[in-house]
Structure 1
Amino acid sequence: MKKDITIKQITQLDEVKQVQQIEQLVWQMNPIPFHQTYTAVNNGGILIGAYGGDEIIGFLYSFPGFKGGDIYLCSHMLGIHPDYRTGGLGAKMKELQKDIALQMGYKLIIWTFDPLESVNTYLNLHKLGGIGGRYIENHYGKMNDVLNAGLPTDRFLVEWWIDSEHVAEPRDKSEKTNLPTDAIEYTDKGFPVIADTFDPTAGAIVPIPTQYQEIKKEDLQLAIDWRYKTRKWIQQLMADGYVAVDLTPNPEEKISLYHFEKRNTLSL
């Protein structure tokens, strides 16, 4: 039975050290040195912990960023114990991060995520109201952890304008454009394949598979094909001034659809 969950800001050194446990569990690699994390927390950073009883089950780590004269918050890592990844815990931690950041004077929070991870995308764009403002090819280079091994580490840079009208606006899935019926086929294992001739500009949409990690495990070449196809389509739209604003799940077709809008039409 799962224990009652509490979420709070972490500021004490012993709590900071506990974060390393869940970090190593999620990514199966060496955690960030606690002295670095603790220093960031005491200099404009925000560290949030989620607890099941007395056991740490999730964390969200962010530190200050500075570019072009602007100060913002870099949200670097969000990790949740596998037994607690349903129920909206990630969204709750992000909302607490937003509230604390606003109190500290931040207006913008940024982070990166894999554009082909549909669960993360739905959280970042649909639930939180972030936008995919920049597409970065192979951002981290070669990585050998369980989520990234064998693939180019392409990333979306999320912009979360936490005091904007865009974040406050509801996102209505019923008004979204659908994928053309002749654009999708399936492999013998039931994995979706999108035609090379698909045109993202027709409806400002880009499909991604719902279960990308499963495809990676069973058919690495198909996973790589999805990476390069979606990279091309997203970059094509962004070159025309579009940014990613939402994701609509289509579970019966085993895909989800990115939706893009012109940046200059958004209330950021």
Structure 2
Amino acid sequence: MLQIKRLVDIEEIRATQQIEEKVWKMPVIPIHQTYTASKNGGMILGAYDNDELVGYQYSFPGFKNGKAYLCSHMLGVLPTYQKGGLGEKLKAAQKEWALEMGYSLIVWTYDPLESVNAYLNLHKLKGIAASYLENHYGMMEDPLNKGIPTDRFLVEWWIRSDHIQGEQKNDEVQSYEPLIETELNKRQFPIISSEIEPIKNKKKDIILIPIPENFQQMKQQQPSLALDWRYKTRKWFQELCLNDYVAVDVKRNSKEKVSYYVFRKRNSLSLVGNEEGKL
């Protein structure tokens, strides 16, 4: 039976390093850092299957523009437990403990072209992708990031807001056509068949932008195509963010092997009660 609890003992926290090694295959965060963060406004959660640690989540406190928030830095699940909803359960537990600790905002980063992460972060959790960070970590050598710039979306999760309580407006979204058209190549990967018109000249309430369904597979089999998606979507996403659009949802299209980001104007959302929240 799976159980999630907050880790406070240094040896419990040390056990998370084994998962970190197996998931990312790179040097682990020193235990003195994670343990100290856990004692000073941070949080480390462990997911157990009976007595075996199978997943964890590590957060530390952040502060910017007069606001304190929780920075969700790492979430790792053993390969045999992935795709079973454990990541979502860890985020739900993180939210509940963060509320008890007095936080209103949790932030984290993810690769904008990873459709599974995008679907969890925006569709299921109802975070918003509001900032685009170009090559955020520099070029990395781990298997998940090697060979491509580490562009990231910064997710803002306003856990006390009206936004995360409401239902997504699916019917409204369906009436909008994406600004980018795609088609499948001989290897059944999506390629961009039409370019986007300048965002700054648009006054649309909703903008749809596609991303590949399986970016990791594309990176392995057609790395040049993966780079093409990185550089073109970088341009589009940066322009959207500069014009006060935020990604609020993800819609899947398995037939075309893409997922579509749903962008809306930030001021159309209820992020902190009835007030607009901003990091």
* Fold match by TM threshold 0.5: yes
Q: Distance in 2 between matches of 1:173 and 1:212?
A: 25
**Aligned AA for 2:244?**
G
- CA-CA distance at 1:180 after TM superposition: 5.3
What do residues 116-142 of structure 1 show as CA deviations (whole Å, max 9, x unaligned)?
A: 001111111111110001001000001
Normalised by the size of structure 1, how large is the TM-score? 0.95
Structure 1 counterpart of 2:170: 173
**Residue pairs, 1:1-268, within 5 angstroms:** 4-177=1-174, 179=177, 183-199=181-197, 204-268=207-271
Q: Distance in 2 between matches of 1:252 and 1:114?
A: 23
What do residues 67-105 of structure 1 show as CA deviations (whole Å, max 9, x unaligned)?
A: 122110000001111111122111111111111011111
- CA-CA distance at 1:172 after TM superposition: 4.1
Q: Distance in 2 between matches of 1:85 and 1:179?
A: 33
How many residue pairs get matched? 265
Normalised by the size of structure 2, how large is the TM-score? 0.91
Q: Distance in 1 between matches of 2:170 and 2:83?
A: 21
CA contact (8 A) 2:184 2:256 kept: no
CA contact (8 A) 1:204 1:237 kept: no
- CA-CA distance at 1:195 after TM superposition: 2.2
SS at match of 2:164: helix
Q: Distance in 1 between matches of 2:180 and 2:42?
A: 48
Q: Distance in 2 between matches of 1:58 and 1:78?
A: 8
SS at match of 1:101: helix
**Aligned AA for 1:187?**
N
- CA-CA distance at 1:196 after TM superposition: 4.3
SS at match of 1:246: strand
CA contact (8 A) 2:178 2:207 kept: no
SS at match of 1:63: strand
Please list every run of 5 or more consecutive structure 1 residues that lacks an aligned counterpart in the other structure: none
Distance 1:186 1:100, change over 3 A: same
> Comparing 196-205 with 117-126, which one deviates more in the overlay?
196-205
What do residues 20-54 of structure 1 show as CA deviations (whole Å, max 9, x unaligned)?
A: 00011000011111111011001110101111222
SS at match of 2:270: coil
CA contact (8 A) 2:179 2:209 kept: no
**Aligned AA for 2:86?**
L
Distance 1:182 1:207, change over 3 A: closer
Q: Distance in 2 between matches of 1:157 and 1:66?
A: 15
Please list every run of 5 or more consecutive structure 2 residues that lacks an aligned counterpart in the other structure: 272-279
Q: CA RMSD in A?
A: 1.6
**Aligned AA for 2:79?**
P
**Aligned AA for 1:29?**
M
Distance 1:251 1:174, change over 3 A: farther
Q: Distance in 2 between matches of 1:182 and 1:77?
A: 32
SS at match of 1:144: coil
**Percent of matched pairs sharing the same residue:** 54
Q: Distance in 1 between matches of 2:212 and 2:219?
A: 11
